[in-house]
């Protein structure tokens, strides 16, 4: 059984103009101790997916139409608020793009980090439970992220820190939780390029030491190549390709992935104009069938009829495209 399995997930947002159909039948899974990468253009629904999994999506305006998010086979979407709190304390956590969302402006960094460590007491030995030991662990967690002067940071409030420093606090928080699954949603976006690589490697090392699984959402193919075993490519609300990272990068099969690979430097910019015309669709009235069909040079009549399922393409490689129907 997979550690996490998302099945046919449909999620949208009610907005003034109507209903945005964002997640359109997402299927994906993460195994125990697996490192999975997720790559997709801006606006394709990556953060919506992570927030749905963690049950932190604002409902409304969001609406979970249907689907399952199975953690060890149990549907998170059907759990009671108490069960969800327990899950977030002990089993899974996320590092989000926007660190201010995750930090409480009313408490110092030290107070927030100490609370988290006290919360995961079971895994801390009795001798380590003193206040001084907990503080030392917080400082060490901050230092692990490359935070300068962590002793001083402990007495600061989030507002006193720069975006990059807040991001490091969030990373330290997440790593202090000792969870089994870490969802890292572009965790180094607010950091200097020079420090990004260093932090991601540290994160990878710590996840490895703890035997955890990790989902890394990133725009960097270098990060994906170096730090993940398996890769998902997402387009306009659904997964379009997955396989071993090396295999997908070496021979992308979905026309969207092929375009993405040709336009790597532009991933964070305005669409993937290099090789693929057009932009991600308007979610108020998304294209029928394969949502990529208006941009696809290979589109066939069947492509507008129904979304393609995943077709196997060898060596754990699967692709949601009618070109690979056998
Ligand atoms: N609170 C919200 N209300 C209305 N629409 C939203 C809300 N949050 C997200 N959306 C819409 O859902 C779509 C997907 O957004 P999401 O943030 O999940 O994408 P993403 O893949 O994480 O993008 P990025 O790479 O820029 O972080 C976008 O069109 C966005 O405008
Ligand atoms: S299913 Fe059709 S439109 Fe979609 S990527 Fe494949 S060929 Fe193109
Ligand atoms: Mg996002």
Strand partners for 60: none
Does ligand 1 have an atom closer than 6 angstroms to the CB of 15? yes
Does ligand 1 have an atom closer than 6 angstroms to the CB of 101? no
Distance from chain centroid for Cα 264: 19
What phi, psi does 320 have (nearest 5°)?
Answer: -95, 80
Ligand nearest to the backbone CA of 235: 1
Cα–Cα distance for residue pair 164/227, rounded to 1 Å: 21
Band (pLDDT 50/70/90 cuts) for residue 282 is very high
Band (pLDDT 50/70/90 cuts) for residue 126 is low
Residue 135 DSSP class:
H
**Strand, coil or helix: what is 252?**
coil
For the CA atoms of 166, 164, 99, 223, what is the dihedral angle to 10 degrees? -130
- Give yes or no for a contact between 9 and 49, defined as CB atoms under 8 angstroms apart: yes
Q: What is the pLDDT of residue 1?
A: 87
pTM: 0.89
Average pLDDT value over all residues in the chain: 87
Band (pLDDT 50/70/90 cuts) for residue 121 is low
114 versus 129: the higher-pLDDT residue is 114
Span 238-273, pLDDT tens digits: 999 999 999 999 999 999 999 888 876 545 544 444
Q: What is the pLDDT of residue 140?
A: 87
User: Mean pLDDT, to the nearest integer, of 61-88?
Assistant: 95
Does ligand 2 have an atom closer than 6 angstroms to the CB of 296? yes
pLDDT at 153 over 90: yes
Span 131-149, pLDDT tens digits: 888 888 889 889 888 888 9
Does ligand 1 have an atom closer than 6 angstroms to the CB of 45? yes
């Amino acid at each position: 059984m997979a550690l996490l399995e998302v099945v046919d997930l449909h999620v949208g947002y009610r907005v003034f103009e109507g209903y945005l159909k964002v997640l359109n039948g997402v299927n994906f899974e993460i195994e125990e101790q697996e490192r999975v990468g997720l790559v997709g253009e801006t606006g394709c629904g990556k953060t919506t997916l992570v927030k749905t999994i963690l049950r932190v999506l604002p409902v409304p305006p969001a609406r979970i139409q249907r689907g399952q998010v199975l953690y060890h086979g149990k549907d998170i979407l059907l759990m009671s608020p108490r069960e969800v709190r327990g899950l977030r304390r002990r089993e899974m956590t996320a590092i989000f793009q926007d660190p201010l969302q995750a930090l409480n402006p009313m408490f110092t960094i030290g107070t927030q980090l100490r609370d988290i460590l006290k919360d995961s007491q079971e895994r801390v030995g009795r001798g380590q439970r003193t206040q001084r030991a907990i503080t030392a662990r917080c400082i060490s967690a901050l230092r692990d992220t490359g935070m300068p002067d962590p002793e001083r940071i402990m007495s600061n409030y989030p507002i006193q820190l720069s975006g990059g420093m807040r991001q490091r606090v969030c990373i330290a928080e997440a790593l202090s939780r000792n969870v089994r699954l870490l969802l890292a949603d572009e965790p180094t976006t607010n950091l200097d390029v020079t420090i990004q690589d260093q932090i991601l490697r540290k994160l990878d090392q710590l996840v490895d030491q703890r035997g955890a699984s990790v989902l890394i959402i990133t725009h960097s193919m270098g990060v994906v190549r170096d730090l993940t075993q398996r890769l998902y490519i997402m387009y306009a609300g659904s997964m379009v390709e997955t396989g071993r990272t090396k295999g997908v990068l070496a021979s992308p099969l979905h026309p969207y992935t092929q375009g993405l690979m040709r336009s790597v430097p532009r991933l964070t910019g305005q669409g993937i104009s290099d090789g693929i015309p057009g932009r991600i669709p308007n979610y108020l009235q998304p294209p029928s069938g394969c949502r990529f069909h208006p941009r696809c040079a290979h589109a066939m009549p069947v492509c507008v009829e129904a979304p393609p399922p995943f077709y196997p393409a060898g060596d754990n490689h699967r692709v949601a495209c009618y070109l690979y129907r056998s």
